[in-house]
């Protein structure tokens, strides 16, 4: 696991190389083995210096998240003791009296980078793909191996902020420019260079601060900056956090965090506290403070929920856990896209970027060409940003055939249909495509509202007919919702999943239903916002509580971005086809007033609930809307209750989707919610949220809201049953398959 070797010049090399893993991680076994090797090197008089490196392509990926997820968090003292041991190990490493170099051969993240920071010198191999950083905050944690203390002491609080608070990782060259890494050298010189640094003649000696007065001076190379006499944190006058500059920094920083996280994420706050408190304390005490905050985050359900969904759930989805077994993997070469509009052109863009040949079909040549021009634009943007070479962009564009001729689809392995959202138009396009397609090719509709089973009725091979629902803008949105119709066969599902991975998106698998899973749950959020408008709650309050609940946008803003006309159309269709009533409810009346009385269609028209400037940037709530219904608004509503309503209604809809079999896997439900419509990520997703609070408590909350706000909050049978039995979704619907 950890290889240890001492050469003739007294240089010990400790190489991380965990068996049966592609990446090294910090867990109990590897940490113990590493501690043993380190101790041997420090105690061996023949050893003059130490190199820490890895035998894998990357250095160390970070802590073993499985270990963190399964940690028994009931005993805070025990956890504190456990993680103090890690701090002590890293501290022993930097205060052991021998110079240590981190030879960073590839990516070093989280605890992996913290090991490097506790080395006296850091050399990285030049590798444009290698990254260093502290991504812990993205999973609701903080760097608990000294990262919050060593990084600000090395590069100052301002420079440390994006690394610690946003989890930004850095290419090694950037890290060198910031002072986190000392040298970047060609990969084949990494170890020689490390050894050269260790064997160079020592020029300076110091008495380390930890050794106390009167102690013997030692080789300065073996002493960290913060252990040297007179050390001051860079960035603040006198290194003082409480200097006027320091105070300004923290006031501004706290305000920014509050604005960005609405107070629902504990980790950024804890990181700020660690840095602020730690920088005023002796180093060893500062590490204790860090451990305490780390343990408090680990014990908070937010971290576990985020790790489970945003790491494990996501990983399983990306490994195609839901792919039916026994269907050979499809290697894609050529696909077709029907409709070269907003979605079709986006789907073609991401497909061509994955190296596929594309046939892009539209009604006439100019419409097809317009779609191809969009692809050229998108590739051009990447070239401009230096992320794609011009010749590769040219080669990609040359793989796109834009044509009105359906005959060109002949040898496509899969076709994604993205024509107008109209049953007849879709039926005609399906028939024309199937007439020329290979009988084994998959036909996928990107419809957002029309049930797949109904669309498949015109198909001559409904077992190969499926829904592949992309999100807009296709280039940026990571999720794809795959919809299995009544007659869709396992082969079509397997091959659709292969395609989604080919274009490097994350798939979830759902069964057919109106609005499928994502649109159906998401629409409850926008609709609840409209109910609040109907109750005359002041629109700015509604929008603010939306964001405060952890959603990326307020309900009205998001309705603008979807298109107020689209929302109206769907609401009307739903009323007529599901509720079978002629009487619009108050939410539909508001939408109709915005679209039909006021002629405001949303962001695309630069006017909706909001006003927009020429660049489609929101400027203010439209004053005309604030006059709606006489202009008197209530400002006395309790923001906490509004927040609860907005979040609860979505989670309840997700629970209904389970009861109806629309969704069957809690991982899909949670990953789909966060990636698809931005459901408050700190909860780990709607299902995680219900599981964390317990079905019984959730049912109680729904009942209280139903009594006050109506039937839409009435908990479903499944939830009541689970509440009675004390079940969780992750138990009751335990994922049947884990990815290989």
Q: Which residues bind ligand NAD (CB under 6 A)?
A: 338-344, 361-363, 367, 418-421, 425, 428-429, 446-448, 470, 472
- Paired sense of beta strands 170-171 and 131-133, if any: antiparallel
Residue with smaller CB distance to ligand NAD, 406 or 531: 406
At residue 525, φ and ψ (nearest 5 deg) are -70, -50
Residue with smaller CB distance to ligand NAD, 446 or 716: 446
State the Cα–Cα distance between residues 154 and 118, nearest whole angstrom.
Answer: 11
| Cα 594 to chain centroid, rounded | 34
Minimum CB separation of residue 477 from ligand NAD in Å reads 9
| Cα 345 to chain centroid, rounded | 25
Q: Output the CA–CA distances (angstroms, integers) from residue 491 to 463, 465, 504, in the order listed.
A: 8, 10, 20
State the Cα–Cα distance between residues 596 and 565, nearest whole angstrom.
Answer: 9
**Encoding tokens for residue 636?**
């006395």
Cβ atoms within 10 A of the Cβ of 155, count?
A: 18
State the Cα–Cα distance between residues 193 and 53, nearest whole angstrom.
Answer: 13
Residue with smaller CB distance to ligand NAD, 99 or 563: 563
What is the maximum span of the chain, computed from C-alpha positions, in angstroms?
Answer: 91
- Paired sense of beta strands 334-338 and 618-621, if any: unpaired
When CB distances to ligand NAD are compared, the closest residue is 341
Residue with smaller CB distance to ligand NAD, 107 or 453: 453
Residue with smaller CB distance to ligand NAD, 201 or 424: 424
If DSSP codes are grouped into helix, strand and coil, which group holds residue 662?
coil
Minimum CB separation of residue 479 from ligand NAD in Å reads 11
Residue with smaller CB distance to ligand NAD, 170 or 509: 509
- Paired sense of beta strands 11-16 and 100-104, if any: unpaired
Minimum CB separation of residue 449 from ligand NAD in Å reads 6
Minimum CB separation of residue 378 from ligand NAD in Å reads 15
State the Cα–Cα distance between residues 446 and 348, nearest whole angstrom.
Answer: 13
If DSSP codes are grouped into helix, strand and coil, which group holds residue 360?
strand
Residue with smaller CB distance to ligand NAD, 89 or 553: 553
Minimum CB separation of residue 433 from ligand NAD in Å reads 9
**Encoding tokens for residue 467?**
């829904």
DSSP states of 221-264: GGS-GGGSTT---TTSGGG-TTSHHHHHHHHHHHHHHHHHHTT-
Minimum CB separation of residue 446 from ligand NAD in Å reads 4
Residue with smaller CB distance to ligand NAD, 460 or 697: 460
State the Cα–Cα distance between residues 257 and 137, nearest whole angstrom.
Answer: 12
Residue with smaller CB distance to ligand NAD, 168 or 363: 363
Minimum CB separation of residue 342 from ligand NAD in Å reads 4
Q: Output the CA–CA distances (angstroms, integers) from residue 154 to 44, 53, 136, in the order listed.
A: 30, 21, 19
Q: Output the CA–CA distances (angstroms, integers) from residue 704 to 407, 522, 699, in the order listed.
A: 59, 22, 9
Minimum CB separation of residue 535 from ligand NAD in Å reads 29
State the Cα–Cα distance between residues 264 and 546, nearest whole angstrom.
Answer: 12
State the Cα–Cα distance between residues 361 and 60, nearest whole angstrom.
Answer: 47
Catalytic (active site) residue 378: no
Catalytic (active site) residue 114: yes
State the Cα–Cα distance between residues 130 and 105, nearest whole angstrom.
Answer: 8
Which is the catalytic residue, given 28, 39, 66, 136? 136
* Helices 639-659 and 717-725: angle between axes, nearest 10 degrees: 100
Which is the catalytic residue, given 114, 316, 417, 588? 114
Q: Considering only CA atoms, which of 576, 692, 33, 10 is closest in space to residue 302? A: 692
Minimum CB separation of residue 304 from ligand NAD in Å reads 32
Minimum CB separation of residue 367 from ligand NAD in Å reads 4
Residue with smaller CB distance to ligand NAD, 470 or 633: 470
If DSSP codes are grouped into helix, strand and coil, which group holds residue 102?
strand
Residue with smaller CB distance to ligand NAD, 304 or 372: 372
State the Cα–Cα distance between residues 415 and 397, nearest whole angstrom.
Answer: 19
User: Any bridge partners for residue 359, and if so which?
Assistant: 336, 401
Q: 385: Cβ–Cβ under 8 A, 6 or more apart, which residues? A: none
What is the residue whose two structure tokens read 């509720």?
579
User: Any bridge partners for residue 2, and if so which?
Assistant: 16
Q: Do 374 and 339 meet the contact criterion of CB atoms below 8 Å apart? A: no
**Encoding tokens for residue 617?**
């940037």
Minimum CB separation of residue 345 from ligand NAD in Å reads 8
Catalytic residues, which ones?
A: 114, 136
């Amino acid at each position: 696991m950890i290889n240890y070797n001492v050469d003739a010049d007294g240089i010990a090399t400790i190489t991380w190389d965990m068996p049966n893993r592609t990446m090294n991680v910090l867990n109990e076994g590897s940490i113990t083995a590493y501690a043993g090797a380190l101790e041997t090197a420090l105690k061996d008089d023949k050893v003059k210096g130490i190199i820490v490196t890895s035998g894998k392509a990357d250095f160390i990926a970070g802590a073993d998240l499985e270990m963190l997820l399964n940690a028994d968090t009931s005993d805070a003292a025990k956890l504190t003791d456990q993680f103090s041991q890690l701090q002590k190990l890293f501290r022993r490493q930097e205060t052991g009296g021998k110079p240590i170099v981190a030879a960073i051969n590839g990516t070093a993240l989280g605890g992996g980078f913290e090991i490097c920071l506790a080395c006296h010198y850091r050399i990285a191999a030049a590798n444009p793909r290698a990254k260093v950083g502290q991504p812990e905050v993205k999973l609701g944690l903080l760097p608990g191996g000294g990262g919050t203390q060593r990084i600000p002491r090395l590069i100052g609080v301002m420079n440390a902020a994006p690394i610690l608070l946003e989890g930004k990782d850095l290419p090694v060259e950037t890290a060198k420019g910031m002072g986190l890494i000392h040298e970047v050298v060609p990969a084949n010189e990494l170890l020689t260079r490390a050894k050269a640094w260790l064997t160079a003649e020592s020029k300076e000696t110091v008495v380390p601060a930890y050794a106390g007065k009167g102690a013997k001076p030692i080789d300065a190379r073996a002493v960290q900056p913060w252990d040297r006499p007179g050390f001051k944190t860079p960035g603040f006058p006198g290194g003082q956090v409480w200097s006027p500059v320091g105070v300004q920094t923290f006031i501004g920083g706290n305000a920014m965090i509050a604005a960005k996280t609405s107070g629902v994420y504990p980790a950024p706050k804890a990181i700020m506290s660690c840095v602020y408190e730690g920088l005023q304390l002796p180093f060893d005490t500062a590490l204790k403070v860090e451990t305490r905050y780390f343990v408090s985050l680990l014990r908070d359900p937010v971290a576990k929920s985020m790790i489970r969904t945003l790491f494990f759930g996501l990983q399983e989805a990306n490994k195609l856990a839901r792919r039916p077994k026994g269907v050979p993997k499809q290697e894609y070469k050529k696909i077709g896209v029907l409709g070269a509009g907003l979605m079709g052109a986006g789907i073609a863009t991401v497909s061509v970027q994955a190296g596929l040949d594309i046939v892009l079909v539209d009604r006439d040549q100019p419409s097809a060409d317009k779609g191809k021009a969009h692809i050229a634009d998108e590739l051009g943007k990447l070239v401009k940003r230096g992320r794609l070479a011009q010749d590769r962009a040219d080669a990609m564009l040359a793989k796109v055939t834009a044509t009105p001729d359906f005959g060109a689809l002949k040898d496509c392995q899969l076709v994604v249909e993205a024509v107008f959202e109209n049953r007849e138009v879709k039926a005609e396009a399906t028939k024309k495509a199937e007439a020329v397609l290979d009988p084994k090719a998959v036909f996928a509709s990107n419809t957002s509202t029309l049930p797949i089973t109904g669309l498949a009725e015109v198909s001559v091979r409904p077992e190969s007919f499926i829904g592949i629902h992309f999100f807009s803008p296709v280039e940026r949105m990571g999720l794809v919702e795959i919809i299995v119709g009544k007659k869709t066969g396992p082969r079509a599902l397997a091959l659709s999943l292969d395609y989604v991975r080919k274009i490097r998106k994350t798939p979830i698998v759902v069964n057919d239903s109106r609005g499928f899973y994502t649109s159906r749950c998401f629409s409850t959020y926008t609709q609840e916002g409209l109910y609040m408008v109907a109750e005359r709650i002041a629109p700015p309050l509604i929008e603010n509580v939306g964001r405060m609940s952890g959603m990326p946008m307020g309900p009205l803003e998001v309705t603008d971005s979807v298109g107020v006309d689209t929302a109206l159309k769907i609401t009307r269709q739903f009323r007529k086809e599901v509720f079978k009533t002629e009487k619009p409810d108050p939410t539909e009346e508001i939408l109709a007033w915005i679209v039909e009385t006021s002629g405001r269609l949303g962001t695309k028209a630069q006017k909706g609930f909001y006003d927009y400037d020429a660049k489609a940037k929101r400027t203010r709530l439209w004053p005309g809307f604030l006059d709606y219904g006489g202009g008197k608004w209530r400002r006395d509503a309790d923001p906490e209750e509004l927040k609860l309503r907005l979040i609860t209604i979505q989670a309840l809809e997700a629970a209904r989707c389970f009861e109806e079999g629309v969704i069957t896997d809690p991982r899909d439900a949670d990953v789909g919610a966060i990636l698809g419509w931005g459901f408050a990520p700190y909860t780990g997703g709607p299902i995680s949220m219900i599981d964390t609070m317990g079905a019984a408590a959730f049912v109680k909350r729904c009942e209280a809201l139903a009594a006050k706000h109506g039937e839409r909050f009435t908990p479903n049978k499944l939830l009541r049953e689970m509440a009675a039995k004390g079940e969780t979704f992750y138990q009751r619907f335990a994922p049947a398959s884990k990815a290989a």
